[in-house]
Structure 1
Amino acid sequence: MRGAGWADPSRSVRATITQASLDRAFTILMAIAAIGFGAVNVSGLLKQLPYLDPVWAPASAIVMALSLVAVGVSAIAQRWSQVAQTVCALLFLVALLTFPLTVDRALPVDQVPWPWWLCNVGTIAASLSFATWRAAVYNALVPIIYFVLRLSPAGGAVGLQRAFLDGAYTAVLGIAALVLIVVLRRAAAAVDAAQATAVRRYSRAIREHATEVERVQVDAIVHDSVLTTLLSAARADTPDAETLAARMARNAIDHLAAAASDGPGEDQIVPFDVLRDRIVASVTSLGAPVQVRSVPAAGPGLPFSSADAIASAALQAAVNSVQHAGDDVSRWITIVADRKSVEVEVADDGTGFDAHAVPAERLGVRRSIIERMAAAGGEADLRTAPGSGTRIVLRWPALGAAGDGEAADGDPGLGRDGAADRDGAADRDEREARG
């Protein structure tokens, strides 16, 4: 039997912002900042070298430069980004702490220790790679260490006010970056969790819907192809009834064979003329006369499941009419189509019935017509009342899917929410039917 063939939504649904994409963006920005700040401040470091130890100062600067290069390269090999950022943050802290040991003579007042230019590179690297509380401690230590350094002769002995301002500037930028990174990461994690929850619920809903569609298809086939045939054969007491039962038995065998061999997958498109000919041939071969009032020459192609549903529902509507509408009854079928929709009306002027009085356990129109059409993306309108005949209108696609729910092709009596039948029959929204 043709299944729903649903795809796993977790493979196709993608959030705009995820924690992985955010971390990727942070890694790229960190790489740009590391390489950029390092390159821009090379000239300042070279000017400061005469005041520094000729061995340890260049060695310290080279090691720090290599860590910045590693951070830059990690934008390409992102699996190493956290390691590179962690090493960079730790090496910067070591360079800042050991800077006084690399100074031969006091720096001029107009110069700042070269680690100053990389303070925020270190604090942001720590914010990205450390746990939140460790990053907070790091962002508090760096301004304090730099404040003490600026007060010392090795840092220029600039005085309390200048040292405090430099330390406060470093602290504000570092803490602001830390807060921004933490907030964005938590927001992205919430998006990831919400997406995962939505995908799980959507997957469950799809499975439940597919199960319901399959159940409707099975119920419809059992009713159409088995129960109806058996009941017709049991009641066949005239040659015409026996002929009808034999034809229904052949149709049942063909239908069951086709359902058994049909597998899940994408629907093939059925040309309109194939669908039209199938409907006309099946309805007019029942033995009882059925007048074909209108058959268009052209119409839209339909997915196989939709074409099969509308053809099977039309046949079942005609079978119900033959079985229950009474003798000497006029029956007719009308097919209307345009470029995007198909509408099939199967009607008679027989006895009609009270749909509200039909027991719930009777499958009939409910499974074989109404729910079958709904499962295939269409809809079925039942118009009947005792003594007023029966009219069943099959429409694909459903009006809610084709537009805003208004009637198509100038027929206001066929709207989804229409209250009036074209002939003044009862409410179109009857959802129970005879078996």
Structure 2
Amino acid sequence: MTNELAPFGADPSRSVRATVTQGSVERSFAILLAVFAIGFGLANAPQVAKQLPYLDPVWGVVVPSVLAAAFFLVGASVFVQRLVQPAQIATAMLFLLALVSWPFTVAEAIPTVQHPWPWWLCNIGTIAAAMGFATWRATVYNAVVPIVFVIIRLTPVGGGVSVTTAVLEGVNIGILGGAALVLIVMLRRAAASVDSAQATAVRRYSHAIREHATEVERVQVDAIVHDSVLTTLLSAARADTPDAKTLSARMARNALDHLAAAATDGPGEVPPVALPELRARITDAVASLPAPVRVEGGPLGPTTLPAAAADAIASAALQAAVNSVQHAGDGVARWITVDEVVGAVVQVEVADDGSGFDVDAIPAERLGVRRSIVERVASAGGLAEIRTAPGRGTHVVLTWPAPAAVDA
């Protein structure tokens, strides 16, 4: 079974999705208003039919019919997004027109015990206004409808009820409409806040990704410059024998190939690398060094790691071996082990029994350990540990992935 981890971790945008957005809230509003309008319209159709004998034969039928058509338009707008707001505005305006024109559509005063048929549909008009209009327009609308209804109820054609009854009915309309308006405004603002927070998170995540890519590229460039260019130049400057000159020429060719590969490689273009291939790559790389370095380790399975991680591990191991050849001294035993370990995919140890050094005493301008080993492996999601002391040899342990990544 292949054990491969993504070098940059999981993308949170694929597993986290906002449950409340402005779009989802608006669609829920549209569906609720459609159900409310059609359901209340059909439920109160008998009330309208009951008052037809008191209404004008023409306008008493036309006005309710036009309002019913607006209700069905609200229902149809659920399936056509661009019609949602126009349908809501049309419903609110037609209801207000039906309410204001009530006295002109009545041929005979209705009984006191009956309400004008717009009474049963007041909340549909106020809710449609709250959804379709801006907040201040919806507020004015919710104030006008109760006032108009109170005036109508006080007239003979509206039932001629007492002032107390008319005011109580108007307050009832205002309370329900105002509550709906407040709820709609609060939900819209909450959804807008969610959208804003999500957009900010995505923007910050994108910025972090760009910064991460820039840092990875900087580490790679620093490592390439040190490993390939500076090392080659130093080797060429010190080449005073035919073998040394041949080695310098070979290193120069390798440096050119490395730079060309770095310029052409892209994400996703290189397949994962198996552990036996990684060991073979390290073996070939250290074979050209002027001092012998043996590569050993236990049996390796088919486990793979990403190409970027394999490149980082192999390059860091080669740099550690180069440092050992240059600084550990003559007659020193050098070895590299490549093994699978518990809790990680691979662990590579580059070691010698030479002079060792003080890690804290490395000058800041020296890039070999910091850039070419520690930061290079860390940029690929691994961990590089330098275990050394003056006179006690050096052990460079490279682990991928880093223990924190395995725990996560």
State the secondary structure of the residue aligned to 2:354: coil
User: Among 372, 381, 388, which residue is 1:384 paired with?
Assistant: 388
TM-score, normalization: structure 1?
A: 0.86
- 1:210-237 CA-to-partner distances (Å, cap 9, x unmatched) read 1111111111111111111221222234
Could you tell me how far 1:394 is from its partner in structure 2? 0.6
What letter is aligned with 1:358? I
- 1:275-294 CA-to-partner distances (Å, cap 9, x unmatched) read 12112222244231223341
Q: Which residue of 1 aligns with 2:157?
A: 154
Whole-angstrom CA distance in 2 between matches of 1:37 and 1:130: 21
Cα separation, partners in 2 of 1:8 and 1:278, compared to 1, 3 Å:
closer
| 1:100-179 equivalence runs, <5 A | 100-179=103-182
Contact 1:300–1:338 (CA under 8 A) maintained in structure 2:
no
- 1:141-191 CA-to-partner distances (Å, cap 9, x unmatched) read 111111222222222223233322221211111000111111111222222
Cα separation, partners in 2 of 1:109 and 1:59, compared to 1, 3 Å:
same
Q: Which residue of 1 aligns with 2:379?
A: 375
State the secondary structure of the residue aligned to 1:350: coil
User: Among 310, 318, 340, which residue is 1:337 paired with?
Assistant: 340
Contact 2:8–2:381 (CA under 8 A) maintained in structure 1:
no
State the secondary structure of the residue aligned to 2:336: strand
Q: Which residue of 1 aligns with 2:358?
A: 354
- 1:93-148 CA-to-partner distances (Å, cap 9, x unmatched) read 11111112111222223322111111011001111111111111110111111122
User: Among 55, 74, 77, which residue is 2:77 paired with?
Assistant: 74
Could you tell me how far 1:348 is from its partner in structure 2? 0.7
Could you tell me how far 1:11 is from its partner in structure 2? 10
State the secondary structure of the residue aligned to 1:112: coil
Whole-angstrom CA distance in 1 between matches of 2:383 and 2:253: 27
TM-score, normalization: structure 2?
A: 0.91
Whole-angstrom CA distance in 2 between matches of 1:7 and 1:403: 14
Whole-angstrom CA distance in 2 between matches of 1:180 and 1:39: 25
State the secondary structure of the residue aligned to 1:107: coil
State the secondary structure of the residue aligned to 1:332: strand
State the secondary structure of the residue aligned to 2:107: coil
Q: Which residue of 2 aligns with 1:415?
A: none
| 1:227-266 equivalence runs, <5 A | 227-237=230-240, 241-242=244-245, 244-265=247-268
State the secondary structure of the residue aligned to 1:364: coil
Where does the alignment leave 5 or more consecutive residues of structure 2 unmatched?
Answer: 1-6
Q: Which residue of 2 aligns with 1:366?
A: 370
Whole-angstrom CA distance in 2 between matches of 1:178 and 1:198: 30
Cα separation, partners in 2 of 1:398 and 1:5, compared to 1, 3 Å:
closer
Q: RMSD across aligned C-alpha pairs, in angstroms?
A: 2.5
Q: Which residue of 2 aligns with 1:51?
A: 54
Cα separation, partners in 2 of 1:395 and 1:358, compared to 1, 3 Å:
same
Whole-angstrom CA distance in 1 between matches of 2:48 and 2:37: 16
User: Among 318, 321, 324, which residue is 1:318 paired with?
Assistant: 321
What letter is aligned with 1:381? E
Q: Which residue of 1 aligns with 2:4?
A: none
Contact 1:9–1:202 (CA under 8 A) maintained in structure 2:
no
Contact 1:299–1:338 (CA under 8 A) maintained in structure 2:
no
Whole-angstrom CA distance in 2 between matches of 1:190 and 1:338: 47
